[in-house]
Structure 1
C-alpha cells in the first residue's frame, strides 16, 4: 500500500492528494516529493477556474434568455454547482500555503 497517492477528482477536474498518514509522519523526502507533485497539479488550478467561470457566463446568458421557470431553476442549480467547484478549487489552491511553512520548520 502506498503512503500517499494523487487520485483524479471528476468534479474538480484535477487529481487530489490522498495521504494515508498525518503530514508530520512523512519523512522530509516524502514531503518534498508530495509537495513537488502537488505544485505541478496546483499550477493547473487557475486554468481550471477560468474554464469553470466561462461555463458560468454561458449559463448566465442562457438564464437571461430562459422563460420557463423549471428550466431557470435547473440553470441556477448548474451555476451554483460550478461556483461551488470554483470555491473548492480556491481552497485546494491555498493548501500549499499551509504545507510549505510546516515543511520548513
Structure 2
C-alpha cells in the first residue's frame, strides 16, 4: 500500500493521508491517489456486510442472554459496530465526488 493511504484498524480499510493540500499534487499524482481510493472505496460495502453479519450474531446471542452484565457488553459491542458502519457509509458517500472526478 502506498504512503498516501494508512490502514485504519477500527474501520478495517485504508484511508487517505495527504501530506499536502490537494491542489499541490501534480495531476498525475492526483489521478494515482484517486485510482487507489476508488479501489478502496469499492471494498466498503463488503466490509459493511461483514460487520452487519457480526451484529446479527451478537443480536442473536443477546436475545438468549440472561446475564445482565453480558447483555450490557453485547449491547455496547453492537452499538460500537453500528458506529463503524455509520463511519464507513460516511466515507463511502462523502467521497463519491472524488470518485466522480476519477471518471471525468
TM-score, normalising length from structure 1?
0.87
Deviation at residue 96 of structure 1 after TM alignment: 2.8
Q: Spell out, residue by residue over 1:20-74, the C-alpha distance to the aligned partner (whole angstroms, 9 max, x if none).
A: 1122222221111100000111111110000000000000001101111111110
CA distance in 1, matches of 2:12, 2:19: 22
Please list every run of 5 or more consecutive structure 2 residues that lacks an aligned counterpart in the other structure: none
Distance 2:7 2:43 in 1: 13
Runs of 4+ in 1 over 2 A off after TM superposition: 98-105
Q: Which moved more, 1:52-61 or 1:20-29?
A: 20-29
RMSD: 2.1
1:46 corresponds in structure 2 to 45
1:22 corresponds to which residue?
Answer: 21
**Which residue in the other structure is 1:35 paired with?**
34
Rounded to whole Å, the distance in 2 between the matches of 1:95 and 1:35 is 14
**Equivalenced residues, count:** 103
Structure 1: which 5+ runs fail to align? Answer: none
Q: Measure how far apart 1:15 and its partner are.
A: 1.0
Change in Cα spacing, 1:33 to 1:46, as seen in structure 2 (3 Å) is same
